[in-house]
Amino acid sequence: MAAVLTRKRGASGLRSPVAYLFVFPALAIFTAFTIGPTVFTFVMSTFKWNWLNASQNKFIGLQNYQDMLDGSADPPFFQTLGVSAYFVLAMVVGGTAISLGLALLLRSAARVFVAARTAVFLAHATPLVATSIVWVWIFNPRYGLANLVLSWFGIPNIDWLGNSSYAMPAVILYSLWHEVGFVTVIFLGGLTTISTELSEAAKLDGCNRWQEFWNITFPQLRPFVLFVVVISSVSSLQAFTQFFVMTNGGPDVATLGFQLYQQAFVFRKTGYAAALAVVLFAITVALSILQLRTNHPTGRPSPGRRSSTV
């Protein structure tokens, strides 16, 4: 009875004009700084935009999107998309595998493992700009730590950030170092929610560690894995800072996020940059919908949720 009264009060509260007065400030800020700029970006993508003189803006419809598809843009859109896919795939596969392995190693409650968790997460807490500059010196072709380590094995110096064959792997290595701590914490949280009874039963049945992980632990972690894949994909697509600081977009490592900045503020092609932003927005929405539909399939309960009818 009390629950029914509470629901009725909550419903009447939502219909009260006073309630909307409390919501309005947050809604106004969200509209002004998120919804408004998003809609304006869609509009801008249909113009040849003059950022100095708005009176010279020219409506061109879908021409910016056509320039993407026919390869007339410089650099070609699909080349940029391929570079982005390379970076995203490396971050998603490498970051997920490394983070899951670290989480399995650090899930113990012992003090030394708690300290290790803190140390792993600290890398993610550091500012991107500052640590990118540090890694620029690590990859310095003459004085860098990376080449010093290689010299111990008789490998000659490598121009990490100036060679098109090594620039992207160098940025990926830094990005993994910076992001792995955050994903590890997510997996550590997921490991605390799984059932230990099934693992103990599997051990009694003679399963080895790999069989236990693959058949017992991993299936229970699938919602967390999917969540990590989606957020890693989105953050990797939007990656900008490390590319700007470490390589300034070259050689051949300009991702979609960096190309958006370059088209807007270097080449002054604001309309085309807005079209790139729309494409990036569409990819982000598609990934988010994929996560929601996979975690909550139609007609089936979501993982970890018990049926209300017993």
Nearest to 264 by CA among 51, 53, 72: 51
**Band of residue 72 on the pLDDT scale cut at 50, 70, 90:** confident
Query: pLDDT tier at 308 (50, 70, 90 boundaries)?
Result: very low
What DSSP line would sit under 215-282, residue for residue? IIIHHHHHHHHHHHHHHHHHHHHT--HHHHHHTTTTTT---HHHHHHHHHHTS--HHHHHHHHHHHHH
Structural domains of the chain, ranges and CATH numbers in brackets: 18-295 (1.10.3720.10)
Tokens of 56: 């010279």
pLDDT band of residue 206 (cuts 50, 70, 90) is confident
The predicted pLDDT at position 50 comes to: 83
Overall average pLDDT of the 81-103 stretch? 94
Summarised one tens digit per residue, pLDDT across range 12-51 is 555 777 878 888 899 999 999 999 999 999 999 999 988 7
Residue 10 has pLDDT above 80, yes or no: no
Contact by Cβ (8 Å): 303, 296: no
Rounded-to-integer distance, Cα 40 and Cα 43, Å:
5
Of 27-36, 37-46, 99-108, 197-206, where does mean pLDDT reach its minimum? 197-206
Give yes or no for residue 90 having a pLDDT over 90.
yes
How confident is the model over 127-132, as a mean pLDDT? Answer: 94
The conformation of residue 32, written as its DSSP 8-state character, comes to I
Confidence at 215, pLDDT banded by 50, 70, 90: confident
Label the pairing between strands 58-59 and 47-48: antiparallel
Contact predicate 124/178, CB 8 Å: yes
234, 249, 227, 231: which is closest to 281 by C-alpha?
234
Q: Report the C-alpha gap between 75 and 267 in whole angstroms.
A: 11
- CA angle 116-91-217, nearest 5°? 60
Q: Which residues does 244 contact at the CB level (< 8 Å), separation at least 6?
A: 258, 261
Band the pLDDT of 216: cuts 50, 70, 90: confident
This model's pTM is above 0.95: no
Q: Which stretches of the chain are DSSP H helices?
A: 2-15, 17-30, 36-44, 63-70, 77-106, 111-125, 128-138, 145-151, 167-191, 196-204, 209-212, 218-237, 241-246, 256-265, 270-295
List of long-range contacts for 33-37, beta carbons under 8 Å, 24+ apart: none
Q: Of the given ranges (92-106, 131-145, 287-301), which has the lowest mean pLDDT?
A: 287-301
